[in-house]
Amino acid sequence: MTSEREPLGTLVVLAGPTASGKTAAAIELAQHFGTAVISVDSRQFYHAMRIGTARPTTEELRGVPHHFVGHMDLVQEWSAGAFAQAAEPVLQELIARHGIAIMAGGSGLYFDAVIKGLPNAASQDTRVRKELQAWYRSDGLEALLAELKAADPEAWERIDRNNPQRVLRALEVIRVSGKKFSERGGMRSDRTDIRIVRLAIDLDREELYQRIDARVDRMVQAGLVEEARSLLPFRHLNALRTVGYRELFEHFDGKHSLEEAIALMKQRTRNYAKRQLTWLKREKGWAWSRPDDHQARIKHIEAARH
């Protein structure tokens, strides 16, 4: 007598550059499959940063439960590892109840922490991390990349070299463990206890940039300047060292006019979107579709589950 293996649960990973329409697409999928969304946007974790992170409103969420949206105070610091630990029981509960979960956002390092896991926890050292972060602030990303290339050419070749967090993490593992990042599970494979279905939002660069510019304009009209001014006393916190707030803080310092700050915001958001696309394109297996092509995404998921 043979026993049937219990079917794997499905984690749908929906990614794309900022302003590409991920929230609406994730909501459509969650409604269709009767499940909830795990948000993977490290900027939207913070409750006080509502306008500047384009956090969706209650109306925009359309009744779909979203986990890890606006749940943290500014003074709290979170890492990809901490997120993965917090997200895992939520993921398991959604799969147990619905057989499927939607994980959507644009923070590649946090996606990887859930999908691939993290290198050995023993390879972490707060002192080393702070030293590397200080070096990054003083000398920039190129200096870190030069050390990574010398210490671990394979990791340098495969890592997202536009992502400072990834580079810092690799160097931390190397310095603490004395071994190559690529040899300690740093370049990791997908987990196998659940089925991973990768979906990415596809739109041409010009349309993406138009969406970014329009969203920045909407945020300004919604009160972003006032929100940033109210957060000025907290500008030293890591959470606020990000596009949207940084430019306005510089404006308050007299470095830019408001118009120049808004233009910088748009340009830096475009640069951020390019880095997100670099992360997406380094990984094979993404099924690309237009923002409004919900049926294509549904069909791809259903085909992968059967």
In terms of Cα–Cα distance, which of 169, 179, 178, 162 is closest to 116? 169
- Percent of the chain whose predicted confidence (pLDDT) is above 90: 61
- pLDDT at position 86 is 95
Query: Taking the CA of residue 261 as centre, how many other CA atoms within 13 Å lie in the half-sphere pointing to its CB?
Result: 20
Residue 29 domain flag: yes
Q: How far, in Å, CA of 258 to CA of 252, rounded?
A: 9
Number of H helices, E strands in the chain: 13, 6
- On whether the pTM is more than 0.75, the answer is yes
Question: Do residue 55 and residue 197 come from a single domain?
Answer: yes
State the pLDDT confidence band at 140, using cuts at 50, 70 and 90.
confident
Arithmetic mean of pLDDT, 35-52: 95
- pLDDT at position 3 is 42
Alpha carbon separation from 301 to 75, 105, 202, 305 (Å, rounded): 38, 18, 17, 6
Q: Kindly report, residue by residue over 78-107, the tens digit of the pLDDT.
A: 888 889 999 999 999 999 999 999 999 988
- Percent of the chain whose predicted confidence (pLDDT) is above 70: 93
Q: How far, in Å, CA of 203 to CA of 21, rounded?
A: 10
Residue 5 domain flag: no
Alpha carbon separation from 268 to 11, 16, 37, 144, 145 (Å, rounded): 31, 17, 27, 21, 21
Domain span at 67: 10-117+189-305
CATH number of domain containing 56: 3.40.50.300
Residue 275 domain flag: yes
How many structural domains does the chain have? 2
- pLDDT at position 188 is 66
Q: How far, in Å, CA of 112 to CA of 184, rounded?
A: 15
Residue 155 domain flag: yes
Residue 173 domain flag: yes
Helix axes 258-281, 205-221, angle to 10 degrees: 140
Residue 197 domain flag: yes
Q: How far, in Å, CA of 258 to CA of 250, rounded?
A: 10
With 90 as the cut, is the pLDDT of residue 119 above it?
Answer: no
CATH number of domain containing 166: 1.10.20.140
With 70 as the cut, is the pLDDT of residue 293 above it?
Answer: yes
